[in-house]
Chain A
Amino acid sequence: MSFYGWLWRILPGPTPAKVIGALILLVAVIAALFTWVFPAIAPLMPFNETTVE
């Protein structure tokens, strides 16, 4: 029972293809984090409390 082990098994092709597939997935995840997830959670951080009402 291992998420990354399971991911490695379902990636298609021989080992070099699996490595490329894993890298593509990694880049896609980081891009999604940078584009949507981090901008959404940043305002919740105490050090980003810029405004005073």
Chain B
Amino acid sequence: MRVLRQLLGLLGELLITAGAFLLLFVGWQLWWTDVVADADAGAVVTQLQTDPNAWVQPDQVKLGDAFAIVRIPRFGADFARPLYEGTTREVLQRGIGHYSGTQLPGEVGNFAMAGHRTTYGKAFNLIATLQPGDVVLVETKDTYFVYRVTGHEIVAPTHTSVLLPVPDQPEARATEARLTMTSCHPEFSARERYVAFATLDARYPRSQGVPASVLEVER
């Protein structure tokens, strides 16, 4: 009996430890990954804003390097995230990634990017709040590109044709400069993808800046 009681005590300790381990993992995933990614993204944006030498031309960027700042007024007046080249796990853990092989900002075709819906800074957490006409402002070394949201769809993760030069139309030849944003859907799941579409509305030299009206949001 004594041996059994001792073994049960040890099992209890093990289970309590396992429970604490799982709770800590949830806390790490839901909270700490945001803390780390937000601090990192803030530092990269600050560096781009203060150091002219930190910028690379979009067509010369290497995997994992930041080459633009993405602002989406609907997500908040101070929402500004770096855009990195590539959509590897490591890139997306730092912020928004540009699908390599899709067009660059401002180009005719489809400039596509991905961001986390939850955790790791959750850059696209509010993607489902985007409304037609909302601005997505992309700042590169020389140019501000103003995209305006046109619509969205919810698709299976395998539905990669949303990234085609003309989304969902493999045969079509692109005549418009589009932007496609993808994120996980529903929140806290990877079952589907929420995809928001936008088209290029205007461009301004970076030295000139953008009109204040661009950053206003209709409530």
Which of B25, B32, B158 counts the most chain A CB atoms within 10 A?
B25
Closest residue on chain A to residue B188 by CB atoms: A47
User: Residue B24 at the A interface, CB < 8 A?
Assistant: yes
User: Cα distance A33–B10 when bound, in Å?
Assistant: 22
CA distance A46 to B184 in the complex (A): 12
| Measured CA separation A7–B158 after assembly (Å) | 50
Contacts A34-B32, A38-B25 hold; do A49 and B10 have CB atoms under 8 A apart?
no
Size of interface on B: residues with Cβ below 8 Å to A: 26
B6 part of interface (Cβ distance < 8 Å) = yes
Complex interface: chain A residues within 8 A of B25 (CB)? 33, 38, 41
Kindly provide the distance from the CB of A25 to the nearest chain B CB, expressed in whole angstroms: 13
**Which of B42-50, B85-93, B105-113 lies at the interface with chain A?**
B85-93
Asked whether A1 lies within 8 Å of B29 as measured between CB atoms, the reply is no
A51 at the interface (CB under 8 A from B): yes
Given the known inter-chain contacts A1-B9, A3-B10, A3-B13, please indicate yes or no for A50 contacting B190, CB distance below 8 A. yes
Nearest CB in chain A: distance from B88 CB, A: 7
Interface residues on A, range: 10 to 19
> Residue among A3, A41, A48, A50 with the most chain B CB within 10 A?
A50
**In the complex, what distance in Å separates the CA atom of A51 from the CA atom of B100?**
13
B189 at the binding interface (Cβ < 8 Å): yes
- The yes or no answer to A43 lying at the interface (CB within 8 A) is yes
14 residue pairs of the A-B complex, CB under 8 angstroms, read: A1-B6, A3-B13, A30-B24, A33-B24, A33-B25, A41-B25, A48-B119, A50-B92, A50-B116, A50-B184, A50-B190, A51-B88, A52-B158, A52-B160
